[in-house]
Structure 1
C-alpha cells in the first residue's frame, strides 16, 4: 500500500495472478474534499495502472461517511481571495488538473468501479461520474451545489445535467439540491444501486472473477457481476423525490427552459418539503450562477464531454476573477451563517454582458490548455 496526499493506493490479489487496484480517499474528517495533491496523485496512479498488464480493474471509494463532498474550497479561497497573480495561477492550475483528470478517467479503458455512498458532490462527481461502472448506495446524495458559492455546476455539469430529464437538470443546477440513488439510477447518472454494506462482499467477488488479459472480456465480467448483484430490498431503497415532485418542478422550469427566464417562486408552506428546500436554496444562492446555468446547459447538450471540459475551464478561469465566488466561499467558510454579498439581487438583474464575460475565453482557440485533448 502507498499513501499520497490524503489518498491511498492498494493492489489486491485476484484470480489468475492478476491484481485489482483500490483507490481510497482518506480525508474522512473533511468529507474527503479533494485537494490539488489528491487529484494529481490519482491521475498519476491511474496512468500507471492503465499500462500495467497485471492490473485488471480499479475500485475507487471514500472512507467515512461519504465518497466525496467536493473540491477543497478553502484551498481555492486561500488562492483567490486577495486577487494576487500567484494565487490565481494556483487556482487555474487546480481547475486544469481537475478537468484533465476527469477526462483521463473517462478514457480509462479497464473496468473502473466507483462506489458512491453518502455525499457525492462537486469535485467528487468528476471522479465518480467518469467511471465506467458507477454504483450508488442507498445513502447516496448526488448534487452540484455550486449555486451556494457563486461558482457554476462544474466537473462536466454542462454535459451531464443537459442529458437528464430537462426540468430536473435545471432544478439541480438552480437549487443545488441532491438526488438519491433511486433518482440517479432512473436518470442514468449511476449504473447500479446497492446497499451500503455491499462494498466488501463486492470486492471479494471481484477478486474471484476469471480475469484475462483482454480488457473487453474483463469489462463483460464486471458488467455481468454488477448487473446480477442483488439490489437492496424495496423497503431499503429511498423514495423517488422526482417521481413525487416532478410535475410541480416541471411547471416551474417551463419558462426557464423555453425562454431562459429564471424567476422561480418563493417557497410555499403547502409545497412538498423537498421542493420547499430547493426553492430556499435557490433564492439564497448566487443570481449570476443561475443565469449562467441557462447558457451553460444550452451549450452543453450539443457538446462532447471534452468540449464541455474546455468550456468549463474557461468559466472556472473567469469565476476566479469575478467577485461572487470569493463572496460565496467567504460566507460559507469564514463568516459562517452570514449572507453572501452577491453582485446582483436577482437573476433578472444580471446583465447579459456579465454572463457573456463569464463565458469569454482568455485564450485563443489553439492556445486553450485543452486544445489538443
Structure 2
C-alpha cells in the first residue's frame, strides 16, 4: 500500500512571482513502483496545476536509484489472485486509472519535464512518456518488460513501439530488453540527454528563466534551456546497442514483421551480450504475450493515442481473466526464481482464437470507459 509520502508535491519559487511544480516519487525501497494511490494523486495534482496561473512548469523525478521500475504488480496480483468480483474490480480500476492518467498528462499544456535516470520501465515509462520534455541520463534503462509477466507492452506501448524503427519496436516488445538513453534519443523516446548529476543545476536554471503567462513562450524557454544544457553537459553517452546490432536484429525480425512468425533463435551466433539477453528473456517470457506484441504493433501505427488506450484497456481486462498474467507475476515476484507455467509452450502453439479473445473488447464502443476521451 502507498503512504502519503510515496509521492510528494512541492512548489518552487521562480522569477516574476511564478512557481514550478515538483513531483517526486519516493518509493526507492520499491524502485519507485507506482501504486494506484500514487497515480491518482499525480493526476489530481497536475489537474490543479494545469489551472493555476502561478504554476508555469512541472518537473517529475524519482528519488533514489531510478525514475520508476513500473507499476506495483504486487498490488495488481493481490487483486487478480483473489479470484472474486471485488478483486477483479480492483485490478480493472488500476488499469483504467493508469491509462486515463496517461492520456490526461499527455494533454497537459504547460512544460512538463520528466527526469529519466536508472530504470524507466512499464508503468513508470508510461508516466515518463507523458511529458513534453523528456530527459534521459547515462544510467537510463528504458523498457517495456511486460512479456516477462504475461502481460503486453502497455501504457501506450501500442502507439510508441509502432512509431520507432519497426525492427527495434518488435525486438523491445518481444524481449523486454532495455535501451540506453543514446538509443532512446535516436528513436525520439527522449528529447534530451544529460548527466545524472545535472538535475539540481537544471532545476536551478529553470527557476531563473524569464517566465510569462503565455504557455507557448514558456515552452520555447524550456526547449532553449534544455538544448543548451545538453550541449554543455559532461554526460558520457552510453554506446548504442542498436547501432551495433541493427543489421542482425533487422534480419531476425523480418519474418516477424512480414509474416507474423514469432520464432526467435535460442542463441545468437554473434555472441553479442545485448542480443543474448534479449533472446534469453524472450524464451523465458510468455508465448501469448509475444503473439500479442505482433498484433499490437500491426494495429498501433494506424491508431491515435486514445484509440491505443482503448485497445489496451480491453486487453488488460482480458489479461486479468486469463491465467498467464497471474502466473507470470507469481513466478517473477511472489515465488521469486520459480519457472512460470505458461498456458502454451511456444508462440507458434498459441491458437488464433486465444489471441482474438485476449484482444476482444468486453464493452460496446459507446459504453467503453474511455468513450468520452
Tell me the TM-score normalized by structure 1.
Answer: 0.98
1:147–1:290 CA contact under 8 A, matched in 2: yes
Question: Counterparts of 1:365 and 1:95 in 2: how far apart (Å)?
Answer: 18
Distance of 2:257 and 2:94 partners within structure 1:
32
Verify the 8 A CA contact 1:161 1:169 in the aligned structure 2. yes
The answer to whether the 8 A contact 1:110-1:215 is kept is yes
Alignment partners' CA distance in 1, 2:346 and 2:234 = 42
Give the aligned partner of residue 124 of structure 1: 124
Partner of 1:148: 148
Deviation for aligned residue 1:268: 3.4
Gaps of 5+ in 2: none
Instruction: Tell me the residue number matched to 2:96.
Output: 96
- Does the residue aligned with 1:190 lie in a helix, a strand or coil? coil
RMSD: 1.2
Distance (whole Å) between structure 1 residues aligned to residue 200 and residue 169 of structure 2: 33
TM-score by length of 2: 0.98
Residue in structure 2 matched with residue 336 of structure 1 by the alignment:
336
Match of residue 69 from structure 1: 69
Task: Report deviation, 1:91.
Answer: 0.5
- Contact kept in structure 1, 2:137 and 2:235, CA below 8 Å: no
Partner of 1:59: 59
Other-structure match for 1:249:
249
Q: Secondary structure at the match of 1:76?
A: helix
Change (3 A) 1:235 1:205: closer
Change (3 A) 1:177 1:232: farther
Q: Determine if contact 2:193/2:230 at 8 Å carries over to the other structure.
A: no
Matched, 1:261 2:261: yes
Alpha carbons 2:194, 2:235 under 8 Å: kept: no
Q: Which runs of structure 2 are paired with 1:339-350 in the superposition (5 Å)?
A: 339-350=339-350
Structure 1: which 5+ residue stretches go unaligned?
A: none
Q: Residues 203-218 of structure 1: matches in 2 within 5 Å? A: 203-218=203-218
Distance in 1 separating the partners of 2:137 and 2:64:
14
For each residue in 1:125-159, what CA deviation from the matched residue of structure 2 results, as whole angstroms up to 9, or x when unmatched?
11111100000001000000000000000000000
Instruction: Determine if contact 1:156/1:308 at 8 Å carries over to the other structure.
Output: yes
Return the offset for 1:278.
0.5
Q: Which runs of 4+ in 1 moved over 4 A?
A: 231-235
Please give the per-residue CA displacement for 1:286-343, whole angstroms capped at 9, x wherever unaligned. Answer: 0000001100111111000111000000000000000000000000112211110000
Match of 2:57, SS?
strand
The match for 1:288 is 288
Give how far 1:269 is off.
6.0
Q: Residues 63-89 of structure 1: CA distance to partner in whole angstroms, max 9, x if unpaired?
A: 000000000000000000132110100
SS of corresponding position for 1:9:
strand
